[in-house]
Structure 1
């Protein structure tokens, strides 16, 4: 463990990390995802001071000239701060959904592959949570999309969800650390950057402040409610099964908020991907508003093949059919 100054901001970060470790009791140690930015740098310093064994993973996205040097500096800082080990993992950023989504997918895949079975702590703050809730609201796909990020969704841990971004910056200043400023974090071409620099400040000004905290509290409340509904849905799914199918009469009296969760779980089991609210509602109408309609195509399958949910003889079935 590392000795750190008893300064207000770094103490606040340390207390958040200490509380997370006490709640979740990771065995054997933790990994910290370190980018070199203020959030992850403060998290790394606090975790090295609070946890008995800490390893840092630095993902080099290789999207900018000199990114390898930035990653090497971050790894060296992790060792200076007391991490037992610090590794740089270069990745290729490719895939659908734009640069933000592709970089995120590459980063999480690299962290998962390199974590060695240990939890990975991420530097997401209350500000990140507020941005996530706003993005979910824009998608309009129900409560699940605005539940935000959980403080622990194995293997991903987020000890700093209750702290503002300003706290991590002040913590770095107290430690004499200069965080890396990623140019992408100031590029208005990225949706999150515009939320951070334009939308949230406007909301804070128009509504008299406290918006980020209110959004984060809303996410927490929805997540707690959602966990209860998800548990009920799992229990209901077990009683509604008939082999691979579902018995309609067992689902018809179930409240719609639970029933749609049952259908979501079942469709994911059957191979569905990227389910939308519209698709779930259409499948639910095979139970709640049955008029003899045909099957409903949902996300899944492969080119030329669709996953279709249909009702026949009091049963719901889902299977792949050729276009």
Structure 2
């Protein structure tokens, strides 16, 4: 019997670990574009899941943005059925007309489609093929944007989306390992031209910035960036728990927030409390930024009678004596 290729073994181990901690019943679904990362993940899941007594399926999304996208999605689905994955679905989405840039619009459409299929099949989880290298890129992009600890914590291993656990089993697996795994298994992954398109910031980081960092600091920099994300994610989890308790403690009976209680909070906790409250009021998380939270903090710490703070989503917050509350619409 031929020895199992180390990259194949590493990805199977990562999938097994992810599924071992999964308590929810039902099948797991792999989101697969046909690229090396998601193809290697799908192949590993097709092997591991049945041996753990769990059904595994696949979903591939056709964004319709490139010539031949429908044929490519059909080819991914055909391979998945041969690999024993079931259910297998191809979902066509419309990206045009969605808010944000093309990358953000495609991502929103993709995740909406994926979670829709997962909910319909009552899936225990949706598996995504993001790797250690993707995590390193995410940390660098967040750093360039001036993001705080939440942004620098990168992509979480688990995130609940529309009630579906979204898992990223490969966050400690190198991108090169997924390519080597595909080669060892005789799989021919698709190469997305968007991944090398310099008009995208992530593609520029991938092609230029990361290789320069590796050349200057050594290959360990990728692991270190990913480790930074893990450490910050652990710190963020504690701060979020403290903020949830603090938010409950400063709520005013009228639905606003008590200013004296907010003023006593540590700045790191107070900012999270205000951020969470703003989301409760209807401010879209993707549009809610540092400047909005800073303006809300000014109503607490440096208030001198200034007017309402405008938040994304048409929400306006003002200070009335000793509390923050929603301002009347104009």
Q: Into which bin does the TM-score normalised by the smaller protein fall?
A: over 0.9
Q: How does 1:164-183 map to 2 (within 5 A)?
A: 164-183=174-193
Matched, 1:96 2:107: no
Q: Is the Cα contact below 8 Å between 2:316 and 2:327 reproduced in 1?
A: yes
Matched, 1:317 2:325: yes
CA distance in 2, matches of 1:276, 1:98: 17
CA distance in 1, matches of 2:327, 2:142: 30
Q: Residue 15 of structure 1: SS of its match in structure 2? A: helix
Cα deviation digits, residues 86-140 of structure 1 (max 9, x gap): 1111111122222111111111111011113321100000001111111211221
Cα deviation digits, residues 160-197 of structure 1 (max 9, x gap): 00000000001001101111112222211111111111
Q: Is the Cα contact below 8 Å between 1:270 and 1:319 reproduced in 2?
A: no
CA 1:5/1:38 → structure 2, altered by over 3 Å: closer, same or farther? farther
The residue number in structure 1 matching 2:85 is 83
Matched, 1:149 2:155: yes
Q: Residue 232 of structure 1: SS of its match in structure 2? A: helix
Q: Residue 312 of structure 2: SS of its match in structure 1? A: strand
- Normalising by structure 2, what TM-score? 0.92
Q: How does 1:65-144 map to 2 (within 5 A)?
A: 65-94=67-96, 95-115=98-118, 116-118=121-123, 119-144=125-150
Q: Is the Cα contact below 8 Å between 2:57 and 2:85 reproduced in 1?
A: yes
Q: Report how far residue 293 of structure 1 moved.
A: 2.3
**Structure 1: gaps of 5 or more residues:** 302-306
CA distance in 2, matches of 1:5, 1:157: 29
CA distance in 1, matches of 2:327, 2:183: 57
CA distance in 2, matches of 1:252, 1:34: 48
RMSD value over aligned CA atoms? 1.5
The residue number in structure 1 matching 2:32 is 34
Q: Report how far residue 6 of structure 1 moved.
A: 2.0
CA distance in 2, matches of 1:47, 1:157: 12
Aligned equivalent of 1:161, options 145, 167, 171: 171
CA 1:102/1:5 → structure 2, altered by over 3 Å: closer, same or farther? farther
The residue number in structure 2 matching 1:279 is 292
Q: Report how far residue 318 of structure 1 moved.
A: 2.0
The residue number in structure 2 matching 1:230 is 240
CA distance in 2, matches of 1:44, 1:148: 23
Aligned equivalent of 1:300, options 301, 313, 317: 313
CA distance in 1, matches of 2:81, 2:290: 46
Q: Report how far residue 320 of structure 1 moved.
A: 5.2
Aligned equivalent of 2:20, options 15, 19, 22: 22
CA 1:320/1:18 → structure 2, altered by over 3 Å: closer, same or farther? farther
Q: Residue 313 of structure 2: SS of its match in structure 1? A: strand
**Structure 2: gaps of 5 or more residues:** none
